[in-house]
Copies of this chain bind each other. A is one copy, B any other.
């Protein structure tokens, strides 16, 4: 038996004949002419090198070999029908996997979205990578992930972006700070104090520093800590002041005060970034659609800024990369 000439179509035809017990009837069912089916059967029997059917009392009945072929065919066709279902689920975004890379600060909010999403799509494997802005940029350049969350995206030459959440940076001080509660503090009044800063490469630090530069200000003494949490706790403990994303503060933050500094909060937005040169996994697309529809249910209204519909529209329009996929 030469498997090379074996076609799934051939098996389908054969199964139809065995089922109906008649070549002509199978031809009708398959919308083919009777000679076509006859010939297909002959080819099939030729490639297998065994007779498959006998006509008994006018009905086509499988021989010994034919019976086994029928069983094999049904299994095999069934397996590929399953595979087809799998593909459909994959395409519908109900199944599959995607990876998303978050800038550190975003990890305080994104779970609010990812939680309900993976509740709704339990068959999708999500991998979340977290790091500071610089690390995310590296991942982005190496095309390691399906989705990225940045506040300020890198060059959008090969990517599309869609804002979805406001990310205000506020100045914080320990609860009992002398300026806590005062209106319209001037930033210059704070420069003498020690500031707790994230590491270079952090988006929060980058935004803060460029804002300072715009104002023509520069900081006094600083202390560097590579984690928002550590900084928050540090501020509460009186180590100094800081500028942090409002998302970092717990809803009730009795040990920390937000200072109403003129010019603050620094407004920025988180956005989903999608590379245009990498085929977006169906699951990732499904997640974006989910985010577009359910963002309002997952985050506080004051942070809402959902421009994902626009992103999705542009993704639909984007030229699809070739089917074999490209290098990540």
B324:A51 contact, CB within 8 angstroms: yes
B9:A51 contact, CB within 8 angstroms: no
User: Counting CB contacts under 8 A, is A20 at the interface?
Assistant: no
Comparing A61-69, A225-233, A288-296, the segment that makes contact with chain B is A61-69
Q: How far is the CB of A47 from chain B (nearest CB, A)?
A: 10
A76:B87 contact, CB within 8 angstroms: no
Residue of B nearest to A82 (CB): B72
User: Counting CB contacts under 8 A, is A1 at the interface?
Assistant: yes
User: Counting CB contacts under 8 A, is A304 at the interface?
Assistant: no
A46:B323 contact, CB within 8 angstroms: yes
A64:B51 contact, CB within 8 angstroms: no
Known: A3-B8, A7-B7, A90-B64. Is A53-B281 also a contact (CB below 8 A)? Answer: no
User: Counting CB contacts under 8 A, is A84 at the interface?
Assistant: yes
Partner of A72, one of B42, B45, B46, B83: B83
- A96: chain B residues at CB < 8 Å are 64
User: Counting CB contacts under 8 A, is A122 at the interface?
Assistant: no
- A49: chain B residues at CB < 8 Å are 87, 323
Encode contact with B along A38-80: 1 for CB under 8 Å, 0 otherwise. 0001100110111111111000000111001100100111011
Give complex CA distance A325, B76 in Å. Answer: 25
User: Counting CB contacts under 8 A, is A109 at the interface?
Assistant: no
B328:A56 contact, CB within 8 angstroms: yes
Q: How far is the CB of A39 from chain B (nearest CB, A)?
A: 11
Partner of A8, one of B6, B42, B51: B6
Q: A: which residues have CB within 8 A of B?
A: 1, 3-9, 12, 41-42, 45-46, 48-56, 63-65, 68-69, 72, 75-77, 79-80, 82-84, 86-87, 90-91, 96-97, 279, 281, 322-328
